[in-house]
Amino acid sequence: MTQYRSDWLLQVRTDFAWGMLALLAWHRGDAATAGCWMREAGPLRDTPHWTLTDAVAWQILVDRRVQPAPAGAACT
C-alpha cells in the first residue's frame, strides 16, 4: 500500500475518496496509510467526492481509533 500511496491520495481530490482502500490498508496492518487517507479525504466529507462507502470506511477507522495523519507526516 505504501508504494502506491502517493498516486492514490492524489486522486482523492479529483475522483472519489476511495475509503475502501484506506480500510484495506488498515486491515493489512498499514494504519499510517489509513491515517493519511483520513487527513487528505476528511475535508471532502459531505461533498460530491464523498460516497456512502467512504462514510462507512471513515466510521470503521474511527471506531478502530485510527487518527488522521498529522500535517507534517509524510503521506506522499
| Other C-beta atoms lying within 10 Å of the C-beta of residue 9 | 21
Q: Region 48-75: what's the mean pLDDT?
A: 93
Q: Has residue 1 got a pLDDT over 70?
A: no
Question: What are the residues whose beta carbons fall under 8 Å from the beta carbon of 19, sequence distance 6 or more?
Answer: 37, 41, 51, 53, 54, 55, 56, 57, 58
Query: Which residue would you say has higher pLDDT here, 31 or 18?
Result: 31
Nearest CA-CA partner of 12 in 1, 24, 21:
21
- Greater confidence, 1 or 36? 36
Instruction: Note the pTM of the prediction, 2 decimals.
Output: 0.85
Q: Which of 46, 48, 34 is nearest to 5 (CA)?
A: 34
pLDDT at 10 over 80: no
pLDDT at 69: 96
Q: Do 1 and 28 touch, CB atoms closer than 8 A?
A: yes
